[in-house]
Structure 1
Amino acid sequence: MNSEKENFQQKFDIPKSLFYRFSQFVGFLLGARFFIAVLLTFALYVSTFFLFNQDENFRKFVFDFKVHGIIFCTVLTIFAGGIINQFYDFEKDHIVKPFRTRLQSFIKQKYFLYVYLFLSIISLGVAGLISYRVFLFFVVYQFFMWFYSHKLSRMLIINNLTFVSLTLYPFFGMMVYYETFSKKVLLMAVFLFLILLCIDIVKDTLTKSVDKAFGYTTIPNYFKNKNTRIILVSLLMITMGVSMKLILRTGISGFMAYYFTTGLFVFILCIYLLLNHTRRNNFITLNILRMWIFIGIIAMLMNGLEGKL
């Protein structure tokens, strides 16, 4: 391992101390899934203000410290969840993500665990200051984050459903906090759930052999390629149906209407790529769906700004 670090350092001609500190920093960010947490934080703020929060003006929202506290606890929990997940998946990631694990190797695993405990305790401490209901909400969230990494990530179908549910859990919390229950919000939640489920299954097709070697029972391993394609195509067709219902039955307008309409063609492209099964096409499909979620966040932001101005 030391020779790998030295070769990596010599290749880029970086001073030893600077290289070591920088590698530790980047390794920690990747281990905590910092960039995913940043994206989810952005999505939480956008959805909270423009979707769940129907009545408050911007000034009142800015000074609603309870909401900021909940989002802060969510971010810490996501950091902690990323750390504990990479702790359990370290051997698998060493093959699937060699560059990332090489950077993470500059930090001993015990320090990741220390940070995991620290972030979890801070998150629960802040949640307890907000209210006991928020505290219980994050106790459940953190428990399932750990249980997913420890056990559920290896179980057929449950792994995918749990991963997607944990991703959407903070948004569900905000929906309950603002008591925003409507047909439009429900359909948008189903739409996002289906896309995230497709992303997770497609991701599993790219790590099929490694998952099998390390005992992860995934849909591509259990149902094989043909049936996995049928499942993915079916999910995308259902997603298209949800999109059409959003367009025709909920009165959605503006940028979000354009987003869901254009999404029909995006999903048709994804179906075409999946039916022409190659590893490259699956990789392209995965990134198209990920990008489409990001575009959806931007569309919601633009739609909200248009409505508030």
Structure 2
Amino acid sequence: MNSEKETFQSKNDISKSLYYRFSQFVGFLLGARFFVAALLTFALYVSTFFLFNQDESFRNFVFDFKVHGIIFCTVLTILAGGIINQFYDLEKDHVVKPFRTRIQSFIKQKYFLYAYLGLSFISLGVAWLISHNVFIFFVVYQFFMWLYSHKLSRVLIVNNLTFVSLTLYPFFGMMVYYETFSKKVFLMAVFLFLILLCIDIVKDTLTKSVDKAFGYTTIPNYFKTKNTKIILTALLIITMIVSMKIITRTGVSGFMAYYFAGGLFVMIFCVYLLFNSSRKSNFLTLNILRIWVFIGIIAMLLNGIESKF
């Protein structure tokens, strides 16, 4: 009888241990924003090969280890940035994201900091092996990632502009690497910048009171609801104008042409939702814009496959 109890207790201890380890693993993935990093990696590969890389064959691209090294450093930097951001936003996240912070609580904060330092040093080490210019590029990237989390995320307007700029920074690096400077690429970059800016501002409307309580000066809690709607509407209208410029002036075709044309209706629908003063409509607007960015990546992939293969 005692033997059976001991066996049962042993199995129970093992299951608890596995649950604890699994919770630690999931907590680390959430803390490092792993899924965001995965999406950005996919977007980087798609945009690099199908937009910035105009002449190189697929075979040469696959064996261009310098490009893979740069993207690898980018992924590590994004993971490190996610960790340091959650470290500084921990109190706010307890209110805004209680489930995620509960999962993350299985890992002590000091281990997140160790992971941050480890990822940062590995990224810089690989960057140094690639070239000194790439090393400087990532030193600047990591510095502003830390500065944003430590200070800039609390500064009005600067917080939104810095967040979007840091999101697009790796794409800018690839554009410089391939020396792909054209009107088409510039307008697409402006389009993406505006959409990401709208996403960040709409996201701030959902955490308005919490941001104010924890000292984050955002557009919604400084300019109030009515003026925030006007700002977002103006940004969406400018985004529509940029979309029309891309369609009519850059010769974009195929799936990308359908994407930018369809985007006009998406933006109009988002404007309609913004003037429905409810948290649900803001949440819907946020997710529509996020999905539209993802659809843009898929459209670029399909358009590139159609043209290159």
TM-score (norm 2): 0.95
Q: Which runs of 5+ in 2 are unaligned?
A: 1-13
Structure 1 runs of 4+ aligned residues shifted over 3 Å read none
- SS of residue paired to 2:246: helix
- Could you tell me how far 1:218 is from its partner in structure 2? 0.2
Structure 2 counterpart of 1:191: 191
1:89 matched to 2:84? no
2:280 equivalent in structure 1: 280
1:27 matched residue in structure 2:
27
The alignment partner of 2:297 has SS state of helix
Deviation at 1:217, TM superposition (A): 0.1
- How far is the alpha carbon of 1:36 from its aligned partner? 0.2
Which consecutive unaligned segments of at least 5 residues does structure 1 have? 1-13
Q: CA deviation at 1:18?
A: 1.3
2:47 aligned partner, one-letter code: S
Aligned residue number for residue 103 of structure 2:
103
Deviations 1:26-75 (A, max 9, x none): 00000000000000000000000000000000000000000000000000
- 1:74-95, CA deviations, whole angstroms, 9 ceiling, x for partnerless residues? 0000000000000000010000
Aligned-pair CA distance for 1:227:
0.1
* Residue 76 (structure 1) aligns with: 76
- 2:163 paired residue number: 163
Distance 1:77 1:163 in 2: 14
The alpha carbon displacement at 1:276 in A equals 1.2
SS of 1:272's equivalent in the other structure is: helix
SS of the equivalent of 2:292 reads helix
Highest Rg: 1 or 2? 2
Where in structure 2 are the equivalents of 1:111-130 lying within 5 Å? 111-130=111-130
Structure 2: which amino acid aligns with 1:227?
N
Q: Please tell me whether residue 296 in structure 1 is matched to residue 296 in structure 2.
A: yes
Distance 1:61 1:18 in 2: 41
Cα distance in 2, alignment partners of residues 131 and 51 from structure 1: 23
C-alpha separation in 1, matches of 2:294 and 2:56: 25
Q: 1:101-250 to 2 correspondence within 5 Å?
A: 101-250=101-250
Tell me the SS of whatever aligns to 1:55. Answer: coil
Q: What SS class does the counterpart of residue 106 from structure 2 fall into? A: coil
Which residue of structure 2 aligns with residue 257 of structure 1?
A: 257
Deviation per residue, 1:205-244 (Å, 9 max, x gap): 0000000000000000000000000000000000000000
Partner of 2:56: 56
Question: 1: CA distance between counterparts of 2:252 and 2:276?
Answer: 34
Q: Tell me the residue number matched to 1:3.
A: none
DSSP 3-state at the match of 1:137: helix
**SS at 1:202 equivalent:** helix
Structure 2 CA distance for aligned equivalents of residues 308 and 49 of structure 1: 10
The Cα RMSD (Å) is 1.0
Secondary structure in structure 2 of the residue aligned to 1:15: helix
* Distance (whole Å) between structure 1 residues aligned to residue 177 and residue 18 of structure 2: 45
2:104 alignment partner AA: Q
Q: C-alpha displacement at 1:15, in angstroms? A: 2.8
| Distance (Å, rounded) in 2 between the aligned partners of 1:84 and 1:15 | 31
Tell me how far apart the structure 2 counterparts of residues 277 and 240 of structure 1 sit (CA, whole Å): 22
Q: Which residue number corresponds to residue 67 of structure 1?
A: 67
**Shift of the alpha carbon at 1:176?**
0.2
- Residue 211 of structure 1 aligns to which amino acid in structure 2? D
SS at match of 1:56: coil
Instruction: Report the Cα offset of residue 160 of structure 1.
Output: 0.1
